[in-house]
Amino acid sequence: MGQFGTEFCDHIAIARYENDAWQAPSIETLKPLSLHPAAHVFHYASTCFEGFKAYRWDDGKARIYRLHDHAARMQKSAASLHLPVPDADMLASMVTNLVAHHVDDIPAPPSSLYLRPTLIGTLENIGAAASPSTEAMLFVLASPVGDYFSGASATLKLLVEEQRARSTEQLGSTKTGGNYAAALGPTLEAKEEYGADQVLFCPNGDVQETGASNFMLISDDEIITKQLDSTFLHGMTRDSVLKLGADLGYKISEREFTVTELMQLIVTYEAALSGTAACLSPVGKVVHNGEEFTVRDGNAGPNTEKLRKALQDVQYGLAPDTHGWLTEVG
């Protein structure tokens, strides 16, 4: 397999919203989409997406991780962008039908099938800057991916950014491409100037998230992360780690915390980024006010590894799914 997200299965699930109704979805051969140059998505960023995985177990069947939670989050994203909201059961069936079609193409764990449902506005109107798209297309891409951690045990370096936010407050919890575009410039600047891997956005000193992941501080008995609000993405991996952490006896502290507290806690706490691709990625260094600081001893910590393994054991079928997160296909 090539770089994450660059190889695709040869079929796609697709549905269109026309004449005030969703049309019947279908599984089609993967090919370039045909869109009018005036399509709303090109001009007014009417788009949102999801990203999650399916795993093939030894019994030959696939298990999709947190399918229904992702469908519900896509509905919220669509509503926030005033796009036609897809029916949750329709979206779930599009995903399960596509996974069933490609179940034999799913590599064995720790590899998986990455799934990317995407909703775009297709109304042909370049005068609709202040109007929603009343036509839309929903499609699901499938991409076989390898182990994100394969051969890579290095920790990440984060630049603490106290001036800029990752997104606008009204769209912070929406999974839309514009948020990633907004984070790209600061991230590239941080890589060039400090060799940082990501930017930890902390507007006015409020520790929030990076450009593509949620942020956590972890000790032997506590997990600290910002409580949910409209300013940042409500990550499924974040939620999974917090629930599994509670099962393992960690105190879960969802609360506001400042950069000042962050800099004090990294002396003894582990730091990690949570997300679908990397699960939990350990942070070894942070850059603050132009100075580099080490998180604990700079190495991946045992609690980060413990929590990552607990999550992956559920996904791989090595531990019971006590939270009902898996959807069986095949």
Q: Which of residues 124, 145, 166 is at a domain's end?
A: 145
The CATH number of residue 67's host domain is 3.30.470.10
Strand (E) or helix (H) holding 235: none
Statement to judge: residues 103 and 182 lie in one domain: no
Q: Which of residues 84, 113, 145 is at a domain's end?
A: 145
Domain presence at residue 212: yes
Residue 151 is predicted with a pLDDT of 46
Q: Which of residues 115, 145, 175 is at a domain's end?
A: 145
Statement to judge: residues 111 and 215 lie in one domain: no
Statement to judge: residues 295 and 163 lie in one domain: yes
Residue 164 is predicted with a pLDDT of 86
Which structural domain, as residue segments, surrounds residue 193?
A: 156-316
Strand (E) or helix (H) holding 67: helix 67-80
The stretches in the chain having pLDDT less than 50 are 151-152
Total domains present in the chain: 2
Residue 154 is predicted with a pLDDT of 84
Strand (E) or helix (H) holding 230: none
Q: Which of 173, 145, 191, 10 is nearest to 77 (CA)?
A: 173
Residue 185 is predicted with a pLDDT of 95
Domain presence at residue 284: yes
Q: Which of 301, 283, 321, 319 is nearest to 222 (CA)?
A: 301
Statement to judge: residues 188 and 307 lie in one domain: yes
Domain presence at residue 131: yes
Domain presence at residue 181: yes
Statement to judge: residues 189 and 291 lie in one domain: yes
Tokens 């939990």 -> residue = 280
Statement to judge: residues 138 and 167 lie in one domain: no
Phi, psi of 126 (to 5 degrees): -85, 0
Statement to judge: residues 106 and 56 lie in one domain: yes
| Prediction pTM value | 0.95
Strand (E) or helix (H) holding 138: strand 136-145
Q: What span, in angstroms and rounded, lies between the C-alpha atoms of 287 and 294?
A: 9
Domain presence at residue 169: yes
Statement to judge: residues 163 and 60 lie in one domain: no
Statement to judge: residues 173 and 295 lie in one domain: yes
